[in-house]
């Protein structure tokens, strides 16, 4: 049934419907004064880079990066009021973070092609001694294929993206069918204020900026990348197939995510295309012209020309309106 689901997603009618649906939901997301942005950092999904960008939008004292070995203990003992002044939180934590916060957070995340993600995770474990599976991998000289079969590592390389999005504990999720898990993960993508794709990082940043109406992000490069040494082995196709087989849900989710992401990018482009070039002096023009009972919502250079016409007809030389008009025209056109 699952392969059928994934196949079904590829049908054009689904793609059209997803596109139509994406268009119904305005991408702009207004944050209210007490809203908390929670960046669900799924490991190996360019999260460090994305968080570095997110941090630039908030003050240091309202940002919280959660980590460390006793994270769940810390959360269990915490009171939600401890998070009241946070406006940005980040952590390798799943959807259930809402249980610990004073209000439901605004979720954002990054997704990645599941096979790439696991390959990256293997490389990261191999190269980083502080990772808890590092010793096991090095001591037993595990290949990628062997690594993903080990009982503990297996838990984090199999459908991790879906599991984090669903956010239920293992025993709670045990009774859920694969189909239900996948559906819930897809609902989250609809619900999240924003999700990006590692494979389209630049566009993701554009979409993120557009969503929250932020100034554009600067290019800071990629952080915390897995080291690629020239001596690194090529991975066996059978290993990559193994990864795919143990990530059926993540594969189906990613397929949906790609379509929804593309549809949202389109909506963003169309919205930007329709917007008149932003002209902060439009309102001033309206007010001034409005006093003469002539209303205009014209923008930019068109407004200048319209004002010119009005000036000739209505505004007498030397009046306060002429002065204001000249001031505005100077600002808008630079002369």
Partner 1 sequence: MNMAEQSARFDLASDDVLLFLHIPKTAGLSMISLLEQQFKREEILELHSVPGQGRTEKSVVLEGLGMRSQELKQRIRLIRGHLSFGPYDTLIWRYIVQTPVVITLLRDPVERTISAYMHMRRNVVNNPGFQEKYPTILDWVKDPENAHRVVNRLTRQIVGAYFRGRRLSEGKGGLSDQALLSIAKQRLEQFPFVGLTERFQESMNLLHHTFGWDLPAEVPQINVSPTRISRFDFSSEEIEAIRERTNLDEDLYKAAEELFDRRWHAMQQKRSAASAGTD
Task: Please report, as ranges, the residues that interact with partner 1 according to CB under 8 A.
Answer: 14, 17-18, 20-21, 24-26, 29-35, 79-81, 84, 95, 98-104, 106, 167-168, 175-177, 179-181, 183-184, 186-187, 190-191, 193, 256
Smallest separation (angstroms) from partner 1 to the CB of 25: 5
* Residue 253 beta carbon to partner 1: minimum distance, rounded to whole angstroms: 12
CB-wise, 127 or 183, nearer to partner 1?
183
Q: How far is the CB of 269 from partner 1 (least distance, A)?
A: 19
DSSP H helices in 275-319: 282-291, 300-313
Between CA 109 and CA 26 the distance in angstroms is 18
What is the 3-class SS of 124-185, one letter each residue?
HHHHCCCCCCHHHHHHCCCCHHHHCCCHHHHHHHCCHHHHHHHCCCHHHHCCCCHHHHHHHH
Residue placing its CB nearer to partner 1 in the complex, 122 or 192:
192
In terms of CB distance, is 168 or 262 closer to partner 1? 168
Nearer to partner 1, 193 or 251 (CB): 193
**Residues 126, 148 contacting (CB under 8 angstroms):** no
Round to whole Å and give the CA distance between 1 and 4. Answer: 5
Closest to partner 1 by CB, 195 vs 325, is: 195
Closest approach of partner 1 to the CB of residue 68, in Å: 20
What is the closest distance, in whole angstroms, from the C-beta atom of residue 334 to partner 1 in the complex?
A: 29
Strands, sheet with 106-111, edge to edge from the N-terminal-most edge strand: 63-66, 88-91, 37-40, 106-111, 194-197
């Amino acid at each position: 049934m699952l392969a059928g689901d994934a196949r079904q997603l590829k049908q054009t009618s689904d793609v059209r419907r997803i596109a139509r649906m994406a268009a119904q939901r305005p991408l702009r997301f207004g944050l209210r004064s007490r809203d908390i942005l929670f960046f669900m950092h799924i490991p190996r999904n360019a999260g460090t880079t994305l968080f570095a960008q997110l941090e630039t939008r908030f003050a240091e004292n309202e940002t919280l990066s959660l980590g460390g070995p006793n994270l769940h203990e810390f959360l269990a003992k915490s009171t939600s009021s401890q998070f009241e002044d946070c406006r940005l939180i980040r952590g390798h934590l799943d959807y259930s973070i809402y249980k610990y916060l004073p209000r439901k957070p605004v979720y954002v995340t990054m997704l990645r092609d599941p096979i790439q993600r696991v390959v990256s995770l293997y490389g990261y474990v191999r190269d980083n001694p502080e990772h808890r599976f590092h010793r096991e991998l090095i001591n037993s000289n595990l290949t990628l294929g062997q690594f993903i079969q080990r009982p503990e590592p297996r838990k984090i390389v199999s459908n991790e993206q879906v599991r984090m999005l669903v956010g239920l504990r293992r025993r709670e999720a045990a009774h859920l069918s694969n189909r239900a898990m996948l559906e819930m993960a897809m609902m989250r993508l609809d619900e999240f204020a924003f999700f990006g794709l590692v494979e389209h990082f630049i566009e993701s940043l554009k979409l993120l900026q557009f969503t929250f109406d932020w100034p554009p992000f600067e290019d800071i490069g990629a952080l915390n990348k897995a080291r690629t040494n020239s001596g690194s082995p090529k991975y066996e196709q059978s290993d990559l197939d193994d990864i795919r087989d143990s990530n059926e849900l993540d594969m189906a989710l990613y397929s949906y995510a790609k379509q929804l992401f593309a549809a949202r990018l389109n909506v963003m482009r169309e919205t930007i295309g329709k917007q008149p070039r932003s002209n902060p002096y439009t309102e001033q023009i309206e007010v001034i012209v409005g006093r003469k009972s002539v209303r205009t919502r014209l923008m930019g250079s068109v407004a200048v020309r319209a004002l010119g016409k009005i000036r000739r007809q209505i505004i007498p030389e030397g009046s306060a309106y002429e002065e204001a008009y000249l001031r505005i025209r100077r600002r808008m056109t630079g002369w």
